[in-house]
Structure 1
């Protein structure tokens, strides 16, 4: 008489289970040091190397990667500090301005000289005073730009069409811009900052500093324009 015995299937062990076990038991090779001598890994340049050598190489590569990341973070931090100092100095200078020309000089000093921005444009939509041509748009040429670039926000970062660039920077080959509407509802005017690098201003960039500048200009420009309007009226009466 024979008894049937069901065969017990061999458990399936795949790479995933092995990797999971080793991850959960990082001291495995401490308890089985003889395995380290038997294991070898293929290296693209050096052929077969021991597990210890391969671990050392991976660690060296990781250290180099971390050093590069730290260097990039230090460069970014230094750049952010320079930007913060430049904007802080600009805020102080703008608060001391008594004429529109001084405002433009302060903006030029910061963006053109300190931050190496090759182009800057300050335009007003409806001004109570007669302004130089550089501060105004011809007729209604800007309205299409406004409707296209400011549908949901009063700050635009990115690229422009050739016609839009010529409207703001007719003599400069600008590739990317920061456009900032001025006024509580964007009714006062626009500050445009241009750069030759197409990737310098991107929509995903943080806008904290430019929004602070926007708020400050919105506060200081109307009184300056009103003061100049009063001065012009007195000059005309005289």
Structure 2
């Protein structure tokens, strides 16, 4: 380097220097207005202060969007929780155990706008054997239900449970909820299956959360336990 040449610094060296000397702009405040940067909103030049203000406004907009999304999800979750509570209360008030599968299906259709719902049970008490909700279940379907440790959500792939729905040809996506007593694991045999079907292929998507569906399965399992206790009629 010749004696009359100024040293050349790269971007990292400049950045390191500013980080080591945080009071630089306090001592050289005039640079905040003299340094010109390209605006993010067009070709015009803006001062360093104006560019920083633009960045801050953008961060604030992003944060506001995230907060709005969190509020929306919170409101949706509260609404779903309220519907599950109302549906559960209705199940608790059913006097005739025989009508529980129908009340469960009707309640899910009404509260959650599920187009089609079906309930199938096995291992029921004697007075309930032969009722419609105990028919047409193969051993393979029972084994499949017992293998599920969480609700299945996805496209209609021709599973046997789809045929239990009133209009199976219209179903594009479905959710399969195992009914079992005790822990929701493959070591606890299922005693039934709750099937939710929709003509919307995205209604029950494989990527959707299943927490609320698990709550529905648990509530339905608890209510339908009355059909397994061996007491008929108004049990």
Fold shared per TM-score above 0.5:
yes
Q: Is the 8 A contact 2:146 2:190 kept in 1?
A: no
Q: Say how many residue pairs are matched.
A: 216
CA distance in 2, matches of 1:198, 1:101: 30
Task: Measure the CA separation in 2 of the matches of 1:59 and 1:189.
Answer: 56
**Which of 80, 83, 99 does residue 101 from structure 1 map onto?**
99
RMSD, matched Cα? 3.3
Name the SS of the counterpart of 2:231 in structure 1.
Answer: helix
Q: For 1:151 and 1:13, how far apart are their aligned partners in 2?
A: 65
Q: Using structure 1 for the length normalisation, give the TM-score.
A: 0.72
Is 2:226 aligned against 1:223?
Answer: yes
* Per-residue Cα deviation, 1:53-102 (whole angstroms, up to 9, x for no partner): 21122222222222221211111111000011111112222222232324
Q: Which residue of 1 aligns with 2:66?
A: 69
1:68 aligned counterpart, secondary structure: helix
**Which stretch shifts more, 44-53 or 23-32?**
23-32
TM-score by length of 2: 0.73
User: What is the CA–CA distance in structure 2 between the aligned matches of 1:144 and 1:11, rounded to whole Å?
Assistant: 78
Relative contact order (C-alpha < 8 Å, sep 6+): which is higher? 2
- Residues 1:33 and 2:21 are matched in the alignment: no
Indicate the residue corresponding to 2:49 in structure 1. Answer: 52
**SS class of match (2:190):** coil
> Aligned pair in 2 of structure 1 residues 183, 152: CA closer, same or farther (>3 Å)?
closer
CA distance in structure 1 between the partners assigned to 2:198 and 2:177 by the alignment: 15
Supply the distance in 2 between the matched residues of 1:168 and 1:114 (Cα, whole angstroms).
Answer: 21
Q: Distance in 2 between matches of 1:82 and 1:100?
A: 29
CA contact (8 A) 1:157 1:201 kept: yes
Distance 2:202 2:17 in 1: 46
Q: Distance in 2 between matches of 1:145 and 1:14?
A: 69
Say if 1:94 and 1:103, in contact at 8 Å, map to a contact too: no
Asked whether the equivalents of residues 152 and 175 of structure 2 are also in contact (C-alpha less than 8 Å), the reply is: yes
Q: Which residue of 1 aligns with 2:136?
A: 138
Relative to 1, partners in 2 of residues 1:189 and 1:78: Cα closer, same or farther, differing over 3 Å? same
Aligned twin of 2:215: 212
Uncovered stretches (5+) of structure 1, i.e. residues with no partner: 1-9, 232-238
- Whole-angstrom CA distance in 1 between matches of 2:172 and 2:152: 14
Matched, 1:177 2:174: yes
5+ residue gaps, structure 2, are 1-5, 182-187
2:119 is aligned to: 122
Runs of 4+ in 1 over 6 A off after TM superposition: none
The answer as to whether partners of 1:150 and 1:156 remain within 8 angstroms in 2 is: no
Residue of structure 2 equivalent to 1:153: 149
